[in-house]
Amino acid sequence: MTTDTHEITLTVNGTTRELRVEPRTLLIHALRDELGYTGPKVGCETTLCGACTVHVDGKPVKSCTMLAVQADGADVTTVEGLGEADELHPLQTAFQEEHGLQCGYCTPGMLLTALSLLEDEPDPTRAEIREALEGNLCRCTGYQNIVDAVETAAARMNAAEGAD
C-alpha cells in the first residue's frame, strides 16, 4: 500500500502552516498531533459528539470526519483562536460564569458551534440555541447552563455592538 504523503497548507487561527500528511490523516490528528493545537478533542471518533468541532472556512465541522488533505488551503479556527487567557471571548466568559462546563471536554466544540450560531443569528431563542448545538454532546452539565451561557454571551455581544 502506498505511503505517499501530501504537502498541505492550513491557516490555523491566522497563522499559515505547511505540513506533510498521509492521505488518511484526519484533520483532528493533523491539528493535534502535527501542529500542537490540542483544543479540539477526540471524543467519539464517530461524528456524533462534536468534541472535535473546528471552523473550516468559517463554518463548524467535525474534524474527526474530514481528511487533512480535504482541508488543504483552508482557514481553520480552533478554540485557541477564540480568545487569550487574559482576554477571553464573551462566550468563554459566559461559559465560566454560568457554569456551562464541568469536565470541559465538550467545551471547545460547544464554543465553536455556538460562535457560528451567534455569527448567523445574534439574538437566538433558547430553542434555536438547542437546535444549533444538536451535534455537540455534553455528558456532564445537562445542557441547561450551556444554553444559559450562550444566551448571556449573545446579550453581552449585542450590548457591546450597540455601544459601539
**Binding residues vs other proteins (CB under 8 A):** 1-4, 6, 22-26, 29, 45-48, 50, 53, 59-62, 64-67, 69-70, 72, 113, 116-117, 132, 134-135
Residue 76 sits in the site that holds ligand FES (CB under 6 A) = no
Grid cell digits, residue 115? 460562535
Minimum CB distance to other proteins smaller for 130 or for 156: 130
Minimum CB distance to ligand FAD smaller for 64 or for 153: 64
Look at residue 16 and give the partner it binds from ligand FES, other proteins, ligand FAD, none, a contact being a CB closer than 5 to 8 Å depending on partner kind.
none
Q: Which residue stretches of 68-143 are H helix?
A: 90-97, 107-120, 126-132
Q: Are 116 and 135 in contact (CB under 8 A)?
A: no
- Listed in order, strand segments (DSSP E) in the chain are 6-12, 15-21, 53-56, 59-62, 75-77
Instruction: Check the CA dihedral 74-61-45-149 and report its sign.
Output: positive
Alpha carbon of 157 to those of 7, 47, 69, 83, 91: distances in Å?
Answer: 39, 30, 35, 14, 9
Minimum CB distance to other proteins smaller for 24 or for 99: 24
User: Quick one: which of 19, 35, 42, 88 contacts ligand FES (CB under 6 A)?
Assistant: 42
Minimum CB distance to other proteins smaller for 136 or for 141: 136
Q: Which of residues 5-34 bind ligand FES (CB under 6 A)?
A: none
Q: How far apart are CA 101 and CA 103, in angstroms?
A: 6
Residue 69 sits in the site that holds ligand FAD (CB under 6 A) = no
Number of residues that bind ligand FES (CB under 6 A): 22
The dihedrals phi and psi of 21, each to the nearest 5 degrees, come to -130, 155
User: Quick one: which of 139, 144, 158, 160 contacts ligand FES (CB under 6 A)?
Assistant: 139
